[in-house]
Amino acid sequence: MKLAVWTYEGPPHVGAMRVATAMTGVHYVLHAPQGDTYADLLFTMIERRDRRPPVTYTTFQARDLGSDTAELFKSACKDAYERFQPEAMIVGASCTAELIQDDPSGLARALALPVPVIPLDLPSYQKKETWGAAETFFQLVKTLCPADGDRAPRDPAAKPSCNILGPTALGFRHRDDVVEVTRLIERLGVTVNVVAPLGATPADLSRLADADFNVVLYPEIANVAAAWLEKTHRQPAVRIAPVGLTATRAFIAEVAKLAGVDPAPALNDPASRSGWWSRSVDSTYLTNKRVFIFGEANRAVAAAKVASEELGFEVVGLGAYNREFAREVRAAAEGYGLTALITDDYLEVERAIAEAQPELVLGTQMERHIAKRLRIACAVISAPVHVQDFPARHSPQMGFEGANVLFDTWVHPLVMGLEEHLLAMFRDDFEFNDAAGPSHLGAGHVGTGAPAVTAPVEVPLAAAEANPSASEIVWTHEAQAELSKIPFFVRGKARRNTESFAASQGLAQIHIETLYEARSHFSR
Amino acid sequence: MTALAISHSNDTAASARPVLRERGQREVFCGLTSIVWLHRKIQDAFFLVVGSRTCAHLIQSAAGVMVFAEPRFATAILEERDLAGMADANAELDRVVDELLGRRPDIKTLFLVGSCPSEVIKLDLARAALRLSTRHAPRLRVVNYSGSGIETTFTQGEDACLAALVAEAPEAPANAPPSLLVVGSLPDIVEDQFARLFAELGIAKVEFFPARKSDAIPAIGPNTRVLLAQPFLGDTWTKMEARGATRLSAPFPFGAEGTAAWLKAAADSFGVDEAVFRRVIAPGRERAKRSMERHRATLSGKTIFFFPDSQMEPSLARFLTTELGMTAIEVGTPYLHRDLMAPELEQLSVDVLISEGQDVDRQLDRCRAARPDIVVCGLGLANPLEAEGITTKWSIELVFSPIHGFDQAGDLAGLFARPLNRRRMLQGIAA
């Protein structure tokens, strides 16, 4: 048993729903008790979808358990086929149905429906949502695009083509990334054969093998299918996620290489502004801003690279909730001199953030709440998603426009450049001081209201727990007062540095002198 | 998969009306969802669901689609090793409870809540509750109930929880003075309004169940007169009846007339003088009528269709048809408790189709054919219906908002008027 308060991922059948809902012409019959239909509202409310997910739930009850739940499954399956007339069906069990072992696969086969019926085996007590999405997509691809399928030979005069794999329903900005990446690929003169699962039909999946290669946009969902396509249909894969300027250029180069075309037409985009925005002097203040990054593994690793190499931030924490990519996250974290945080316990993430005292958190909706509680600026970079993560406007994370969006959304929560300098200059001014908080952010933000600022921003308890030696150190009243004169957005760092300096010197008390000695020590 | 039946019973007039019974896909929450409001009501209780990742995800999704604070509920997620018998479920549960109490030493009552998987693998949570109660006595009381979807629909989770709590209530002696017990969790503000009204009526002893604090559970005995504030508490009532309590039959306190009739049941039972009753309720009743009046123009003459959700549907339909001039087409309810609902059903026109249970696809067919002016449904159906041009009201808001009593009658009417007004305001951008 594992005690869970909030979870980053749902059960694996929700992952299967994300694939089925993204596609058209697929229907999912889920052997499940009453109540599991809650998952529908994730799609209709968070994503504001205008139709119900294509899922039929058998809705068995306690009294059915003694009689014939298998019969219930068969009639649900048959009714769903007749009502919805899908091109393909997927069938499976949710966690409770897994326990009653009705064998949806065999039952569906016995119905001999005139469309492909793809059984899913998603172990609910071992695996989670993202894995479920990947497995479902893989099973669909494997069944609908078999090795021995009939295929017209490729026309050697045809333009090179690729598939874009991985976008699903409820994905973080998948909708907009697909638009942006398609634009990049087409600018190279490469045709996009199929985008899947998002917007694809079963017939589209059976055409996957027509492409020359695959673009794996979201490895957590498409890696397994892409590996199978590589082996079975000899389609190489591009696995660079075009997040940020550098990665976008590397992505273009890789696509051009596989397509045998010149990358030049796509490498520069007049609408690409993030590079100059970052080099311009106003952005000087971004230098070494402490950023803590947590989320889906691939997004987190990509965000860390952009934060560090394209914005000049200092990465002070890096982690992910999906263990399937733990190795990649650990390797990336090592590069920043960090130990990766691999956990799906949000309380552990909260402790780590409190301890690291970052100035910015890049995370999921969970970290947004943690950051809000700790009064730290935050931007969301990854699923699990929230209704706000589906903006009405185009807002990709990938490609050149994606890099522009990253610059804006990660920088705006911070105090603006010139404003930060003025705050430092006039910090004792009765009106223009750090208690006023960033002028462009409304009430409720960091620094707003007296308690947030006159009391230290950081969380001493949590920090003390994490660092027992620091807990024995006492701040004198004068040193505490001096600390409070430091602008709030660097105060956490100053406190942390001073305490670790004091601990390293074996000091039990922090005086004003200690504060300044620590400052000089760390500025060497 | 649909077994359709129109049943005619033959005893009383109220239960003589035909009811459409359906079996099929149900677009409803399971009983675990009621933890979302129960944990706010019982302020020193913690709800530990013993279930799967799906259970944890459900509560998280239902709780306002992610309200993050450290809440007083959690899930002990069963894993492969628990199912394979590699781990002793009881030892695991003890460990999880210790972890929990370490984090929340302020907890006085722990509810061990059964789920679909724990019921199917027949995890004996009742025994576990007994063992844990002994182990943590006296600082902690451990109570077990099931909120599983195979046994409970949405608000039935509260029924199961309160029914289990009845066992924890002290026995009121046979010679205890008569007391009024208002049963069903109400927002504190509504509870306080009712308490003031009962005091003005001169009813000496009035208590509410569940109590806000674990150490204040009211005693129940032969002189306890139960007034249900929620229509979905059939099992809780049965448990109280077994203690010798009597039930005051009344419509539920929605709207000016519903609230007046509900209060009247209590007043009559305690021999309150008719003139006193009228004087006490007059101001509230007037306020209720006044505040409903501005919504009447929007609602009067409009048709409404209820998908099943909370069992409150017949009561709400009665309120909207008798007090606001709406016409109900179909009133779906997950379960129809004929006894408790009798005073409501007799006020509903026989033209209204009452349906019990659900086959969601067939019900959607009926709904589309009827083209009602407004549909009350769950969040999974609301946007798809809106996209088809049908105005909807989320049913979950009726469970999470204060809607009982005189001073909420206007708000309750407003919940139905707002979507209609909004549609009118946005005509210019209609699809």
Average pLDDT over residues B279-286: 97
In angstroms, how far apart are the furthest CA atoms of chain A? Answer: 82
Closest CA to B330 of B386, B374, B389, B393: B374
| Whole-angstrom distance, CA of residue B390 vs CA of residue B267 | 42
Residue A449 has pLDDT above 60, yes or no: no
- Segment among A99-113, A244-258, A435-449, B135-149 with least mean pLDDT: A435-449
Its pTM stands at 0.90
Token pair 């099992």 in the structure block, residue: B235
Average pLDDT over residues B240-264: 98
Q: In chain B, how many H helices and how many E strands?
A: 18, 15
- Segment among A147-161, A301-315, B36-50, B186-200 with least mean pLDDT: A147-161
Q: Write out pLDDT tens, residues B293-312.
A: 999 999 999 999 999 999 99
Token pair 């460990």 in the structure block, residue: B95
Compute the C-alpha angle A59/A128/A178, nearest 5°: 100
Q: A453-476: string of b/e by CB count within 10 Å (b at 16+)? A: beebbbbeebbbeeeeebeebebe
Q: Which residues of B touch A36 (CB under 8 A)?
A: 30, 54, 58, 149
Mean of all residue pLDDT scores within chain B: 93
> What is the structure's pLDDT at B89?
87
Compute the C-alpha angle A48/A214/A195, nearest 5°: 25
- Segment among A181-185, A452-456, B123-127, B162-166 with least mean pLDDT: A452-456
Nearest-by-CA chain A residue for B381: A52
| Whole-angstrom distance, CA of residue A147 vs CA of residue A228 | 10
| Whole-angstrom distance, CA of residue B309 vs CA of residue B306 | 8
A57: β partners: A30
Helix axes B255-269, B409-425, angle to 10 degrees: 170
- Pairing type for strands B224-228 and A290-295 reads unpaired
- List all residues of chain A from 42 to 101 with a beta carbon under 8 Å from chain B: 42, 44-46, 48-52, 56-62, 64-65, 72, 75-76, 79, 83, 94-96, 99-100
| Whole-angstrom distance, CA of residue A249 vs CA of residue A275 | 12
- Distance of alpha carbon A524 from the chain centroid: 37
Identify the H or E element spanning B250: none
Give the pLDDT band (50/70/90) at residue B61: confident
Nearest chain A Cα distance for residue B131, angstroms: 18
| Whole-angstrom distance, CA of residue A426 vs CA of residue A423 | 5
A-B Cβ pairs (cutoff 8 Å, strict): 197
- Distance of alpha carbon B30 from the chain centroid: 12
- Pairing type for strands B224-228 and B246-247 reads parallel
Q: What is the percent of chain B where pLDDT is above 90?
A: 86
- Segment among B114-118, B168-172, B211-215, B252-256 with least mean pLDDT: B211-215
> What is the structure's pLDDT at A522?
77
Answer whether the bond into residue B210 is a cis peptide, omega within 30°: yes
Query: Which tokens belong to B143?
Result: 């109570």
Closest CA to B356 of B34, B17, B56: B17
- Pairing type for strands A360-363 and A377-380 reads parallel
| Whole-angstrom distance, CA of residue B227 vs CA of residue B230 | 9
> What is the structure's pLDDT at A427?
56
Average pLDDT over residues A127-139: 98
| Whole-angstrom distance, CA of residue B56 vs CA of residue B90 | 20
Token pair 């509810």 in the structure block, residue: B111
How far is the CA of A56 from the CAs of A59, A79, A110, B95, B425, in angstroms?
9, 9, 18, 38, 35
| Whole-angstrom distance, CA of residue B230 vs CA of residue B40 | 17
DSSP 8-class letter at B423: H
Query: Which tokens belong to B250?
Result: 């009344």
Q: In chain A, how many H helices and how many E strands?
A: 25, 16
| Whole-angstrom distance, CA of residue A100 vs CA of residue B83 | 12
Q: Which residues of B touch A4 (CB under 8 A)?
A: 53, 56, 74-77
| Whole-angstrom distance, CA of residue A344 vs CA of residue A2 | 11
Question: Measured between CB atoms, which of A13, A83, A386 is closest to B66?
Answer: A386
What is the torsional sign of CA A366, A367, A370, A376?
negative
Q: A261 touching B, CB under 8 A?
A: no
> What is the structure's pLDDT at B392?
98
> What is the structure's pLDDT at A439?
52
| Whole-angstrom distance, CA of residue B114 vs CA of residue B48 | 9
Q: How far apart are the first and last CA of chain A?
A: 49
Q: What is the percent of chain A where pLDDT is above 90?
A: 71
| Whole-angstrom distance, CA of residue A367 vs CA of residue A424 | 28
Average pLDDT over residues A331-359: 95
SS3 state at B430: coil
Q: A3 touching B, CB under 8 A?
A: yes
- Residue A38 to residue B82, Cβ atoms within 8 A: no
Structural contact between residues B135 and B100, judged by C-beta atoms closer than 8 angstroms: no
SS3 state at A222: helix
Question: Measured between CB atoms, which of A41, A124, A384 is closest to B380?
Answer: A41
Mean of all residue pLDDT scores within chain A: 89
Q: What is the percent of chain A where pLDDT is above 70?
A: 88
- Residue A35 to residue B82, Cβ atoms within 8 A: no
Sheet of B179-183: strand order equals: B206-209, B179-183, B224-228, B246-247
Q: Write out pLDDT tens, residues A385-442.
A: 888 899 999 999 999 999 999 999 999 988 665 566 565 655 555 554 555 555 555 4
Average pLDDT over residues A135-160: 87
Q: Which residues of A touch B148 (CB under 8 A)?
A: 33, 35, 62
Q: Write out pLDDT tens, residues A43-73.
A: 999 999 999 999 999 999 998 887 789 999 9
- B204, with CB counted inside 10 A (0-12, 13-18, 19+), is exposed
Long-range CB contact pairs, A275-278, < 8 A, 24+: A275/A245, A275/A310, A275/A403, A277/A404, A277/A407, A278/A310, A278/A311, A278/A312, A278/A407
Residues 6+ apart with CB under 8 A from A148: none
| Whole-angstrom distance, CA of residue B101 vs CA of residue B133 | 13
Which amino acid would we find at residue B271? G
Average pLDDT over residues B17-29: 93
Question: Measured between CB atoms, which of B75, B87, B383 is closest to A48?
Answer: B383
Identify the H or E element spanning B428: none
Q: Write out pLDDT tens, residues A184-208.
A: 999 999 999 999 999 999 999 999 9
Nearest chain A Cα distance for residue B121, angstroms: 8
Residue A460 has pLDDT above 80, yes or no: no
Identify the H or E element spanning A149: none
Token pair 């589209």 in the structure block, residue: A204
> What is the structure's pLDDT at A418?
59
Residue A452 has pLDDT above 50, yes or no: no
Sheet of A341-342: strand order equals: A341-342, A314-320, A290-295, A360-363, A377-380
Structural contact between residues B188 and B408, judged by C-beta atoms closer than 8 angstroms: no
What is the torsional sign of CA B130, B136, B141, B145?
negative
What is the torsional sign of CA A114, A118, A119, A124?
negative
Q: Write out pLDDT tens, residues B199-226.
A: 999 999 999 999 999 889 999 999 999 9
Mutate to test the interface with A, among B115, B119, B150 (most CBs of A within 10 A): B150
| Whole-angstrom distance, CA of residue A202 vs CA of residue A506 | 67
Q: ipTM, 2 decimals?
A: 0.93
> What is the structure's pLDDT at A404?
98
Question: Has A121 been annotated as catalytic?
Answer: no
Active-site entry in A64, A103, A282, A345: A282
Q: How many CB atoms sit inside 10 A of residue B21's CB?
A: 17
Closest CA to B90 of B117, B112, B106, B109: B112
Give the pLDDT band (50/70/90) at residue A463: very low
Q: B142-166: string of b/e by CB count within 10 Å (b at 16+)? A: bbbbbbbbbbbbbbbbbbbbbbbbb
Judged by phi (left if over 0) then psi (alpha if -120 to 50, else beta), residue A118 lies in beta
Identify the H or E element spanning A306: helix A297-309
Q: Which residue has the higher pLDDT, B3 or B339?
A: B339
